[in-house]
Amino acid sequence: MRITAPAFKENAQNALTDLHLQRALEHVEAGFIHKRAKVVAALPEFDALRDAARDIKNHTLEHLDLYLEAYEKAATKAGGQVHWAETGGDARAIILDICRKAGAKTITKGKSMVSEEININDFLAENGIEPVETDLGEYIIQLRGEPPSHIIAPAVHLTKDQVEADFRRVHTHLDAARDLSESTSLLAEARGVLRDKFLAADVGMTGANFLVAETGTSVIVTNEGNGDLTQVLPRVHIVIASIEKVVPTLEDVSTLLRVLARSATGQDMTVYNTFSTGPRRPGDPDGPEEYHVVILDNGRTAMLGNEFHDMLRCIRCGACMNHCPVYHAIGGHAYGTPYVGPMGAVLAPALFGLDEAANLPNASTFCGRCESVCPMRIPLPKLLRHWREKEFERGLAPATQRWGLGVWAYFAQHPRLYRLSTRLAIGALGWLGKKKGRFRALPLAGGWTRHRDLPAPSSRTFIDQIRDREQ
Amino acid sequence: MSGRETVLGKVRRALAVSGAEAERKAAVDERLANPVAGLIPERGQLEGAARVDLFCKMAEAVQAGVTRVASSDDVPEAIAKFLRQNNLPAEIRLGADDRLAGLPWEKTPNLTRKSGPSDGRDLTGVSHALGGVAETGTLVLHSGSDNPTTLNFLPDTHIVVVAADDIAGDYETVWQRIRTIFGKGVMPRTVNWVTGPSRSADIEQTLLLGAHGPRALQIIVIGGTA
């Protein structure tokens, strides 16, 4: 996708006034938060499982080189072909090469955020290979030419009516008078259209939620079964996975799946968890004849071993965005990167550069809900703060913000002056606003008062009030 | 330099390691050679009939249907009855699984059986599961000519037979069984965990059954009653 993160402020403004979007976003709070809370409450060990999940990934990351090598060895032994890609461009070239050797005309795709990250669809289309998204949400947004707005519910920004209009626009071979007023009819129509694509595809490409070093296995997690049809029917299966997806053993994956399903969709377990190891075996009546795994770095090693290390534990459940007040207000597209919400605001500057994504770490109130629900206990607000510090250090913040922080820093380093000036300012504001209790406009605070009133402060500073109380 | 050396080199530089440290290698070798189960929730840790009951309850909670029969001899009639009750044609497709082949199909002369992987036009597929997991009502199936993977996903209705004795409390127990059957560090080409029928909530977060996989999942549990 095209990165539009530099226009974040404008994107967010547009999102706030988009009525379709605002209607669709109501489903995020209702759909995800309640369901997650219910399954979490039903499992007394949930928090202990989060600790265990965090420890598994920490251990793996500390030994990442060795686990990647072990994974490669086991996958190769099972007949798989492992490819390594340093950049998105390398991965695209590898994938195109496999497709060309397979003589592929169409390629079906299971849902994969890494494939969005490396923009594989446009690249394949430019090279004469038709990519077909098969996850219902991904299929819908592919018809619309849009990027996903949520990492596990890519079409969450759309209403049913919009989906109906798109299906009528694109599925012109079907009876124009058909009834599509119910969601079930939309689902049935997509199922029918995509069934033919599944059976015709030459190559199937999926992501991987996990790679298992012990057995050389790739794991996908889906509710629809689209990922399975993508990988079992075509002659060639390509898995695209980033380096941090590797975990040691099948037991470790089981622990992670227990927290993933609950955190993502509020299910005890996702409908289909599929463990794939190598191509079709002698005597197998189905399955791919070739099994390729492309292991991608694309900026992740630059997060390893430094202040962003914890982010590499992320298992892409989406709980952080489901609980984010900023995401609830503007949806995913405003972020302008494939990864959105709090996890996206941490990942995007690392993957696409701080110059591109400097706005995103600022799109947070630091309320901390994301960290409180993260199954991998990633300190997201802390990581966002690290990016803000880097943004400031590199002079990327706007001049007024830098000037304001400079003034504040000067006073903060001179406590007497700070107390005196705040006492004067608060006293004056308190006196001026005594009558109405609020200000409709205030010099230097236009950014605030343009959208809402500023409540008048009490006429005494916090420090003074505390001192009174202590006496 | 190859992509492999570049990526591994970057990982090692970031971690400030060479990859040759004996202590790190030993930690990894040990973890892979002797996989240890992590924290296992209490929920599934039941014995006998209680464990099978939990499996059935959890499967039904995710919209799977459950039929319980006393012995494997009852399976053909249970399948025929299910198809009748749901107005489905008396025709099934199944793989070469010996446990299914050995059932008394003569009891259901009107039931047509087709063999082999699905071509996408079968209405009902029948598989025999390797096992089940009571904790979440999950079926565990594996690929091969016995139970082709396409049968798990292409037919509209999937009927899965599982022996009560093969229902474990947790996933970890099933992994141990797979290691015993296939050998340590060896996996079948595909292992499928299936928990309920296919679904999607991609349109307005409304849950709908039958996205791309089966619209209905019917589990036939053999034995296990108290």
pLDDT tens-digit profile of A62-76?
999 999 999 999 999
Mean pLDDT for the stretch of residues B121-142: 97
Cβ-Cβ contacts under 8 Å, B193 against chain A: 269, 272-275
> In chain A, which residue's Cα lies nearest the Cα of B191?
A275
pLDDT computed for residue A317 by the predictor:
98
- The angle formed by the CA atoms of residues B87, B65 and B214, to the nearest 5 degrees, is 70
Q: At what angle do helices A415-432 and A399-412 cross, to 10 degrees?
A: 110
Cβ-Cβ contacts under 8 Å, A223 against chain B: 198-201, 211
pLDDT computed for residue A297 by the predictor:
98
Q: Output b/e per residue, B167-202; b: 16+ Cβ within 10 A.
A: bbbbbbbbbeebbeeeeebebbbbbbbbbbbbbbbb
pLDDT tens-digit profile of B105-120?
999 999 999 999 998 9
* Nearest CB to B185 within list A44, A74, A270: A74
Q: What is the largest CA-CA distance in chain B?
A: 70
> In chain B, which residue's Cα lies nearest the Cα of A195?
B212
Q: Do A67 and B28 touch (CB under 8 A)?
A: yes
Cβ-Cβ contacts under 8 Å, B15 against chain A: 62, 64-65, 304-305
Show the low-confidence residues of chain A (pLDDT under 50): none
CATH topology of domain B43-222: Rossmann fold (3.40.50)
Cα B95 to Cα B141: distance, rounded to the nearest angstrom? 12
Q: Taking chain B, what is the end-to-end CA distance rounded to the nearest angstrom?
A: 64
Mean pLDDT of chain B: 96
Q: Do A223 and B136 touch (CB under 8 A)?
A: no
Q: Do B213 and A163 touch (CB under 8 A)?
A: no
Cβ-Cβ contacts under 8 Å, A224 against chain B: 198-200, 211-213
The H or E element containing residue B176 is helix B171-182
* Nearest CB to B39 within list A86, A156, A255: A255
CB contact B159 to A (< 8 Å): no
Number of A–B residue contacts, CB under 8 Å: 272
Cβ-Cβ contacts under 8 Å, A301 against chain B: 7, 10-11, 13-14
Half-sphere exposure of A167 (CA within 13 A, CB side): 31
pLDDT tens-digit profile of A10-37?
999 999 999 999 999 998 887 899 999 9
Q: What is the largest CA-CA distance in chain A?
A: 87
Neighbours of A130 (CB within 10 A): 14
Q: Judging by DSSP bridges, how do beta strands B138-142 and B131-133 pair with one another? A: antiparallel
Cα A324 to Cα A322: distance, rounded to the nearest angstrom? 6
Cβ-Cβ contacts under 8 Å, A275 against chain B: 187, 190-193
Q: Do B190 and A278 touch (CB under 8 A)?
A: no
Place of tokens 């928090």: A47
Interface test with B, best of A58, A77, A251 (most B CBs within 10 A): A251
Q: Do A49 and B39 touch (CB under 8 A)?
A: yes
Cβ-Cβ contacts under 8 Å, B41 against chain A: 43-45, 49, 258
Place of tokens 């008394």: B104
Q: Do A228 and B153 touch (CB under 8 A)?
A: yes
Q: Do B211 and A195 touch (CB under 8 A)?
A: no
Tokens of A85: 């890609």
Query: Closest approach of chain B CAs to the CA of A354, in angstroms?
Result: 19
Neighbours of A14 (CB within 10 A): 14
* Nearest CB to A269 within list B17, B172, B195: B195
Q: Respond yes or no on whether ipTM tops 0.90.
A: yes
CB A237 within 8 A of CB A288: yes
Domain boundaries for CATH 3.40.50.10420 within chain B: 43-222
Query: Closest approach of chain B CAs to the CA of A77, in angstroms?
Result: 9
Interface test with A, best of B203, B205, B207 (most A CBs within 10 A): B203
pLDDT computed for residue B1 by the predictor:
64
Interface test with B, best of A45, A94, A187 (most B CBs within 10 A): A187
Distances (CA, A) of A325 to A31, A320, A332, A366, B60: 15, 10, 12, 10, 35
Tokens of B44: 């599934």
Cα B169 to Cα A265: distance, rounded to the nearest angstrom? 23
Query: Closest approach of chain A CAs to the CA of B62, in angstroms?
Result: 9
* Nearest CB to B211 within list A43, A140, A191: A191
